């Protein structure tokens, strides 16, 4: 591996965002622990792309999620510490044990079988009503008219957000995760608005507890411990931030994958018993997250022959790991019957997706339901016109316009 | 397979039907859990002898996103475990 080695198109450039897979294939073969300047602040960063290496990084406590604690001065100065200066700095996503264990146990204690059964009913009801609205339109955008309303309404209902707040939440999420790179300057305002909703929601549920997740988090107790006010707000905000746009992104990617592979879409319609395996393969094929959140090294260490200094930012490319031919034969083919080794679509290790049960529920219900409702579903624009947002961590289509009645329909 | 020690305080198990190989248990305690080649979790030993280890195993069980990790009192595990027959 030489220092001059460079991938076929620049990392985090426009071509990369539209199709990162050729870059990942090159990196896995030629520079599996790849040093590059991160576009924000030019901070020297390492990108890990092989399946085994991605899992190794995410399982190793020397790669910390606490950028604010372990990141080098350049990393901090560039503003790359997630949630810095806000309540989110203490969120479960960016703290290490022992704080992480405490937060995660308290959160998980609220995900009871009874509550998950309730969530299933909520998701089914929301999916069915949003499908009715899509049917009435005939032609619709999977991102804005289906996946978006399903994911944000489900999150709002589960947390107990007042219905008037739902539309505002969609707005705030669009601000926090913009489709247009030119609107990056409004991202902090989007995050602040969501923290504001979380704070308001926690205050409301303290006054009048109800049968929802926010009330359950307020009441959660484990070995005499409970969440502090700040931790509660961070937890609710993190759930909104991590659990809405990701589901929207994934549903879009899954629907497109099935439109691209009509034989697999037919298989899914004809064999509902495949739904669970199909979901795992769709998560492998193209999950919502291109990469895990930043890790930083807690000490100087050697990783696969590369010396990483202490405080070095490291990015684990989840999409790349899931397309690594060393792990998945013929990885670029969608095969709903694949089975076999597990994917890292929900990350790996300590910080693997806390809400995976809800995400799976939403994916497993929302994706097949759309295909069953509209068996002739086709793209309403040429395939080549589809664009992805220019975000380094999230893989999401800007729009996915489809026609319910299929080709030739008015 | 080693003979079950009579003094085990608790036994930790991973339900293979529920495990999705998230790696959380191994990351929390590589001494108690490891991942197989296929990527699924199994206990390193399974028998827990001291209170700290039992507490740690319970923490892992509480955090597992699939609810696949269970910690059973030593006696119960002996009485109901699938491996208990004949031991």
Q: Is residue A171 a part of any domain in this protein?
A: yes
Å between B33 CA and nearest CA of chain A: 12
CATH code, domain carrying A194: 1.10.630.10
Residue A156 makes CB contacts below 8 A (sequence gap 6+) with: A163, A165, A166, A169
Distance separating alpha carbons of residues A232 and A200, to the nearest angstrom: 11
The predicted pLDDT at position A407 comes to 67
Q: B19 near B41, Cβ under 8 Å?
A: yes
Q: Is residue A200 a part of any domain in this protein?
A: yes
- The pTM (predicted TM-score) of the whole model is 0.92
ipTM of the predicted assembly exceeds 0.95: no
Distance separating alpha carbons of residues A107 and A109, to the nearest angstrom: 5
Distance separating alpha carbons of residues A326 and A193, to the nearest angstrom: 43
Distance separating alpha carbons of residues A270 and A20, to the nearest angstrom: 32
Q: Is residue A8 a part of any domain in this protein?
A: no
Contacts of residue B26 in chain A, CB cutoff 8 Å? 59, 349
Report CB contact under 8 Å: A349, B27. yes
Does residue B7 carry a pLDDT above 90? no
**Domains identified in chain A, total number:** 1
Distance separating alpha carbons of residues A215 and A202, to the nearest angstrom: 8
Residue B80 makes CB contacts below 8 A (sequence gap 6+) with: B72
Distance separating alpha carbons of residues A59 and A51, to the nearest angstrom: 12
Two tokens, residue B61: 């069980």
Sheet holding A313-316, edge to edge: A33-37, A44-48, A313-316, A295-297, A63-64
Burial A316-334 (b: 16+ CB within 10 A, else e): bbbbbbbbbeebbeebeeb
Contacts of residue B27 in chain A, CB cutoff 8 Å? 58-59, 61, 349-350
Please give the residue of chain A at the shortest CA–CA distance from B56.
A101
Range of A96's domain?
Answer: 14-403
Report CB contact under 8 Å: A356, B23. no
Contacts of residue A58 in chain B, CB cutoff 8 Å? 23, 27
Q: Is residue A239 a part of any domain in this protein?
A: yes
Chain position carrying tokens 């590589």: B30
Q: Which of the residues A52, A287, A348 would you substitute to probe the B interface, choosing the one with the greatest number of B C-beta atoms within 10 Å?
A: A348
The average confidence (pLDDT) of chain B is: 82
Q: Which of A360, A331, A345, A338 is nearest to A267 (CA)?
A: A338
Q: Which of A160, A189, A162, A163 is nearest to A175 (CA)?
A: A189
Q: Which of B19, B10, B25 is nearest to B68 (CA)?
A: B19
Residue-by-residue pLDDT tens, chain A, 410 positions: 444 478 989 999 999 999 999 999 999 999 999 999 998 889 999 999 999 999 999 999 999 999 999 999 999 998 888 777 788 888 888 899 999 999 999 999 999 889 999 999 999 999 999 999 999 999 999 999 999 999 999 999 999 998 778 788 888 888 888 877 777 788 888 889 999 999 999 999 999 999 999 999 999 998 888 999 999 999 999 999 999 999 999 999 999 999 999 999 999 999 999 999 999 999 999 999 999 999 999 999 999 999 999 999 999 999 999 999 999 999 999 999 998 778 999 999 999 999 999 999 999 999 999 999 999 999 999 999 999 999 889 999 999 999 998 765 44
Q: Is residue A87 a part of any domain in this protein?
A: yes
CATH architecture of B22-79: 2-Layer Sandwich (3.30)
Q: A125 near A131, Cβ under 8 Å?
A: no
Report CB contact under 8 Å: B23, A59. yes
> SS3 breakdown of chain B: % helix, strand, coil, rounded to 5?
30, 20, 50
Taking CA atoms, A408 is separated from A88, A384, A403, in Å, by 49, 19, 9
Q: Is residue A410 a part of any domain in this protein?
A: no
The predicted pLDDT at position A71 comes to 95
């Amino acid at each position: 591996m030489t220092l001059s080695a460079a991938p076929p198109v620049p990392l985090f450039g426009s071509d990369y965002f539209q199709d990162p897979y050729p870059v990942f294939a090159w990196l896995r073969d030629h520079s599996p622990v790849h040093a590059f300047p991160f576009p924000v602040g030019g901070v020297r960063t390492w990108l890990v792309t092989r399946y085994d290496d991605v899992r190794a990084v995410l399982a190793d406590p020397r790669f910390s999620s606490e950028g604010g604690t372990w990141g080098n001065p350049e990393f901090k100065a560039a503003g790359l510490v997630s949630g810095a200066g806000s309540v989110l700095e203490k969120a479960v996503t960016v703290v290490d044990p022992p704080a992480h264990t405490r937060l995660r146990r308290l959160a998980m204690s609220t995900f009871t079988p009874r509550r998950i059964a309730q969530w299933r009913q909520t998701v089914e009801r929301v999916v069915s009503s949003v499908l009715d609205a899509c049917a009435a339109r005939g032609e619709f955008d999977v991102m804005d008219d289906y996946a978006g309303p399903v994911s944000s309404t489900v999150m709002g209902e589960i947390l107990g957000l007042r219905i008037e707040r739902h539309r505002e939440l969609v707005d705030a999420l669009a601000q926090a995760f913009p489709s247009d790179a030119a609107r990056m300057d409004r991202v902090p305002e989007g995050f602040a608005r969501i923290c504001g909703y979380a704070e308001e929601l926690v205050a409301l549920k303290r006054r009048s507890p109800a049968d929802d997740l926010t009330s359950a988090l307020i009441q959660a107790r484990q070995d005499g411990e409970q969440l502090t006010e700040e931790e509660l707000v961070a937890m609710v905000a993190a759930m909104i931030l991590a659990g809405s746009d990701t589901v929207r992104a994934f549903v879009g990617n899954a629907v497109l994958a099935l439109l691209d592979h009509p034989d697999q879409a037919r298989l899914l319609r004809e064999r509902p018993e495949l739904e669970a395996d199909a979901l795992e393969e769709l998560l492998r094929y193209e999950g919502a997250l291109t990469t895990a959140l930043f890790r930083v090294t807690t000490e100087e260490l050697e990783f696969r022959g590369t010396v990483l200094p202490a405080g070095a930012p490291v990015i684990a490319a989840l999409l790349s790991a899931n397309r690594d031919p060393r792990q998945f034969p013929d990885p670029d083919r969608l095969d709903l019957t694949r089975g076999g080794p597990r994917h890292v679509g929900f990350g790996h290790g300590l910080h693997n997706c806390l809400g995976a049960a809800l995400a799976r529920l939403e994916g497993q219900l929302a994706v097949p339901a759309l295909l069953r409702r509209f068996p002739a579903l086709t793209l309403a624009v040429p395939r080549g016109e589809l664009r992805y947002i220019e975000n380094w961590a999230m893989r999401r289509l800007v729009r996915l316009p489809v026609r319910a009645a299929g080709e030739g329909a008015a | 397979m080693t003979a079950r020690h009579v003094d085990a305080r608790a036994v930790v198990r991973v339900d293979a039907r529920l495990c999705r190989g998230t790696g959380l248990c191994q990351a929390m305690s590589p001494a108690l859990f490891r991942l197989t080649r296929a990527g699924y979790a199994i206990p390193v030993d399974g028998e827990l002898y001291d209170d700290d280890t039992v507490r740690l195993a319970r923490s892992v069980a509480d955090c597992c996103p699939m609810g696949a990790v269970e910690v059973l009192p030593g006696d119960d595990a002996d009485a109901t475990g699938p491996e208990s027959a004949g031991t």
